[in-house]
Amino acid sequence: MSVQRSRLALFALAVAAFAIGTTEFVIMGLLPEVAGDLHVSIPSAGLLVSGYALGVAGGAPLLAMLTARMERRHALLLLLGLFIAGNALCAVAPDYAVLMLARVLAAFCHGSFFGIGAVVAAHLVPPSKRAQAIALMFAGLTLANVLGVPFGTFLGQWAGWRSTFAAVTGLGVLAAVAVWRFVPPLPDLTAPDLRRELGVLRQGQVLLALAMTVLGFGGVFTVFTYIAPILQQQAHVSIGATGWVLVLFGAGTTLGNLLGGRLADWRLMPSLIGILAALGLVLLGFAWTMQHTLLAVVTVFVWGVAAFATVPPLQMRVVQQAGAAPNLASTLNIAAFNLGNALGAFLGGAVISAGLGLPAVSVAGAAVAWLGLAVTVASLALQHARPPAGTTPCAELG
């Protein structure tokens, strides 16, 4: 495949990732509008966020198994079809129940798309650039936080929340056309044996890789879930300026995602260990810097870099360890990211409910990230002690 064709294929995957990321997070900025229009409470509207997360976690393994025998481009197009249908239904939902159903339907494609997409992206480029290719696809997800969510929120506030979902539906159609046009057929990636795919769950290193994701990203969302009250109550950032600080966080995530891809292609496990160690340090430092406006803003940017620098190596680690059956493992890792989000949100809320204060939330986030670091170090130690056949311990350190 030519370099130009590979770039266009990666761009198509990134556009789809942008659309999926936008629909996942934009609801948070539109809760008052949705609640008012559908005559439900803000907490009830907030369950639309939880419904999406459950759809991701439940849909990821289910859709991975249902599409296991499909050619990878066809599987991606099927998943984008679910995404388009779910968001179109969101745009016309007559009541809360239908909107919840539509959100879950749209979420079903999320985990499987990123799981399969990561495998496809890695095979569009030479082996030495595979983590960077995954990072480029996930750049669409990070850009959704920088551009998609703020503009989607503005559109929904100006023209009604349904217009945002109509726009996301259009993005989904554009992404499907781009995937159909530019992503080549990849029959060699089709999994002919579903039992082989399920067999990855018996591999200790795959399970450790999933645990790294849950804990490493769980540390991020322990704090990020409560970033608005932290900025407003601790850093004394105004309500109007909070959104701009989050845009800065999004810019950091974009930079971190690309940096993480390059580091993972250089030396995967040592880079992941360094990134998780740095993430824990940033979160620990945020417990102090959050009480000073300028330092808090700077820390939020650095935190964004460290947080999303973990994504490409964590995803690459699962694909690497799954060997000949990467599809289900890659998809389960996306579910693991979402499980980490839920775990972090619960832990941060528990800290607040215990009356320990918002700075303690950041300390808890650092502790979770460092638990992920400990699992990563243990995984590398086990790999070094028992390297795969035909390799040397030193060769496996990368």
Among the listed residues 22, 13, 87, 11, the one whose alpha carbon sits nearest the alpha carbon of residue 250: 22
Q: Could you tell me if residue 137 is inside a domain?
A: no
Q: Could you tell me if residue 241 is inside a domain?
A: yes
Same domain membership, residue 101 and residue 237: no
Residue 167: the pLDDT is 95
Residue 389: the pLDDT is 47
With beta carbons less than 8 A apart as the criterion, state whether 104 and 53 touch: no
Give me the sign of the Cα torsion angle 97, 99, 102, 107. negative
Residue 340: the pLDDT is 82
Domain residues for the domain of 359 are 193-398
Q: Could you tell me if residue 157 is inside a domain?
A: yes
Q: Could you tell me if residue 205 is inside a domain?
A: yes
Report how many domains make up the chain. Answer: 2
Same domain membership, residue 287 and residue 171: no
Same domain membership, residue 265 and residue 374: yes
Q: Could you tell me if residue 139 is inside a domain?
A: no
Residue 193: the pLDDT is 58
Q: Could you tell me if residue 221 is inside a domain?
A: yes
Same domain membership, residue 216 and residue 155: no
Q: Could you tell me if residue 24 is inside a domain?
A: yes
Indicate the residue type of 268: L
Q: Could you tell me if residue 138 is inside a domain?
A: no
Instruction: Write down the H helix ranges in the chain.
Output: 3-25, 31-38, 42-66, 72-92, 96-122, 130-143, 149-159, 161-182, 194-198, 204-224, 227-229, 239-266, 268-289, 293-309, 311-322, 326-353, 358-385, 393-396
Same domain membership, residue 323 and residue 230: yes
Same domain membership, residue 161 and residue 232: no
Same domain membership, residue 302 and residue 240: yes
**Domain final residue pick, 118, 153, 184:** 184
Same domain membership, residue 206 and residue 321: yes
Same domain membership, residue 287 and residue 269: yes
The CATH number covering residue 78 comes to 1.20.1250.20
Q: What is d(CA 299, CA 295) in angstroms, rounded to the nearest whole number?
A: 6
Q: What is d(CA 305, CA 251) in angstroms, rounded to the nearest whole number?
A: 8
Same domain membership, residue 372 and residue 322: yes
Same domain membership, residue 200 and residue 121: no
Q: What is d(CA 122, CA 142) in angstroms, rounded to the nearest whole number?
A: 18
For 390, the 3-state DSSP assignment is: coil
Same domain membership, residue 241 and residue 163: no
Report the first-to-last Cα separation within the chain, whole angstroms.
27
Q: Can you give the pLDDT of all 398 residues of the chain as single tens digits? A: 566 778 888 899 999 999 998 988 777 667 677 888 999 875 577 677 767 877 887 787 788 778 777 888 888 999 999 999 999 999 999 999 999 999 989 988 887 888 788 888 888 888 778 777 877 887 787 788 778 877 887 788 788 899 999 999 999 999 999 999 998 887 665 554 556 666 666 778 888 988 999 998 889 888 887 777 788 889 998 866 777 887 888 888 888 988 988 888 888 889 999 999 999 999 999 999 999 999 999 999 999 999 989 888 888 888 777 776 666 677 778 778 878 877 887 788 888 888 898 899 999 999 999 999 999 999 888 887 765 544 444 444 44
